[in-house]
Amino acid sequence: MTLHREGYLIMTIGLLLLSGIQVLNYILYMFTGWCWLFTLLTVGVLIMAYLIIQFFRIPKRTCAFTENDIICPADGKVVVIEEVEETEYFHDRRIQVSIFMSPLNVHANFNPISGIVKYVKYHPGLFLVAWHPKSSTENERSTMVVEHTSGKEVLFRQIAGAVARRICYYLQTGQKVTTGEEFGFIKFGSRIDLFLPLDATINVKIGDVVKSKLTKIGELN
Name the residues annotated as catalytic. 190
Bridge partners of residue 196, in order along the sequence: 95
Residues with Cβ within 8 Å of 81's Cβ and at least 6 positions away in sequence, in order, are 95, 96, 97, 98, 202, 204, 205, 206
Is-contact 176 183, C-beta < 8 A? no
